[in-house]
Chains A and B, each alone.
Chain A
């Protein structure tokens, strides 16, 4: 099979899925002794040039890797943390040479910005917010949204970075009366923001005015859905959801992602498509990432599965490598690569 082959006419059985649709192009080995937790890609200015860099996060170290020739990588900066471990990397689109991280144990306790001194010789970090933080997301136009506090004093805050990543403006959004689990941008609508809540509602804000526009209840068959992507078309809102708490269905296989359509005017919604695992493949959604019309998920089986959301089915499976289960997966925002990581610090870069 060629690496370019991505079209499959019929729903394939798992043993006929083409592993060649994912071609390994590069590998990074993070030698840090602590457990690897996340990976991402971002633009960083190095010696006057913006380079597509990879960011890796272990529990107590976040590292920036710059590309060398022939798909080699060189670690150029490391930020160290001593008290609170890193939970996730938060890339802020449209900001160069700055990345945010969420730190905490089970829940986020701090959000920090990581950058370098103007001469590029030393790593810097600054605390952006602290407290009982529930969700955080980087948004277009150099913005970062986070929610913190409990039900009665929940605060939803937008922080806007200056072009150089420096001084910040803050704005509050109207909080919904239920805990927010995740945020999602609406593709092509920079002033719209979605949130998913613990009560299985999707809320929508106007970022310009801070108004909470609507609370929309979605299908109760899956609890605590997470929204990975949203777009508006012909007056309807389409959302790609995952169901981390869905029970495995032996007959049908576990639905890993779901496309749902919502009419924001009436708050009525209906399922459009379920993205299931191929027959014979077991596992539930652990974590995943959606970019354009491609969705990738790490399954409880330790395998990574990729779906083409337009074709409607799984197009590639990536079983554990060297007997090691996959722990996290991200689409690179700087190109069309898939970044797959294992707990021991191995990061693999695949061309899809």
Chain B
């Protein structure tokens, strides 16, 4: 598979999604 097809990658995705998601 081609990584580029998946869009920008973040190593801290879990923390970033947690700060963006409604709580």
Using CB atoms and an 8 Å cutoff, list the residues of chain A in contact with chain B: 174, 189, 191-192, 204, 206, 209-214, 232, 234-237, 261-266, 268-272
What's the nearest-Cβ distance from chain B to residue A221, in Å?
A: 15
Known: A206-B14, A264-B13, A264-B17. A211 touches B6 (CB 8 A): no
For the complex of A and B, list the 7 residue pairs with the smallest distance between their C-beta atoms, beginning with the closest.
A266-B7, A263-B6, A235-B9, A213-B17, A264-B13, A211-B21, A270-B1
What's the nearest-Cβ distance from chain A to residue B21, in Å?
A: 5
Using CB atoms and an 8 Å cutoff, list the residues of chain B in contact with chain A: 1-3, 5-14, 16-18, 21-23
Q: In the complex the two chains form, is B21's CB within 8 Å of A234's CB?
A: no
A343 to B2 CA separation, bound complex (whole angstroms): 44
A204 to B23 CA separation, bound complex (whole angstroms): 14
Known: A209-B23, A235-B13, A272-B1. A261 touches B18 (CB 8 A): no
What's the nearest-Cβ distance from chain A to residue B7, in Å?
A: 4
- Could you list some 26 contacts between A and B, CB below 8 A? A206-B14, A206-B17, A209-B23, A210-B23, A211-B18, A211-B21, A211-B22, A211-B23, A213-B18, A213-B21, A214-B17, A234-B9, A234-B11, A235-B9, A235-B12, A236-B6, A236-B9, A237-B13, A261-B1, A265-B10, A265-B13, A265-B16, A266-B6, A268-B6, A270-B2, A270-B5
Q: A213-B18, A234-B9, A263-B9 are in contact. List 13 more A-B contacts (CB 8 A).
A: A235-B13, A263-B7, A263-B8, A263-B13, A264-B17, A265-B17, A268-B6, A269-B6, A270-B1, A270-B2, A270-B5, A271-B1, A272-B1
